[in-house]
Structure formats: structure tokens, C-alpha cells
Amino acid sequence: MLQQRKRDAPTRPNLRGWLLPDALLALSLVTLTLVFTQQALQVTSRVERQRQHRLERARYHRDQRLERWLAS
């Protein structure tokens, strides 16, 4: 992808900074980082919601058992 510039080509301008392939590579790395971060946050959020739901369900069943025990 990267090609070395020829030193004996006087008609070529002096290129400085980022070349297009370098910029595209950097942009793709940033994009991948953002996508992976977003996916990790979504998974973490989903796992936390599941944990919270299980906890609420366990508390509800415990309360139901306690009510039945007190009623008997």
C-alpha cells in the first residue's frame, strides 16, 4: 500500500504530512476502536439489565414465600 517515493523525480512536489493511504489506515483504526467500544458498552449494559432482572425476580419470589409463611 505504501510506496517509497523516488528521489530522482524533480517534477514531484515535496510531500509532507499524511498520505492518503496513511490517513485511511488511521481512520479505519479509529473507526474500529469506536465500534468495539460501542459493542462492549452494549454488552455490558445488556448483562447489567439481565442481572437486575434476576435480582428483582428473586426478591419477588422471596417476598411471596415470606407472605405465604406469614399467612399460614
In a structure prediction context, what are the per-residue pLDDT tens digits for the chain, which is 72 residues long? 555 555 555 565 666 666 788 889 999 999 999 999 999 999 999 999 999 999 999 999 999 999 999 998
Position 12 scores a pLDDT of: 58
Full-prediction pTM beyond 0.85? no
5 with 12: CB under 8 angstroms?
A: yes
Task: Compute the distance between CA of residue 60 and CA of residue 19 in angstroms, rounded to an integer.
Answer: 62
Task: Compute the distance between CA of residue 49 and CA of residue 42 in angstroms, rounded to an integer.
Answer: 11
Residue 14's CB is within 10 A of a number of other CB atoms, namely 5
Task: Compute the distance between CA of residue 60 and CA of residue 71 in angstroms, rounded to an integer.
Answer: 16
| Three-state DSSP state, 70 | helix
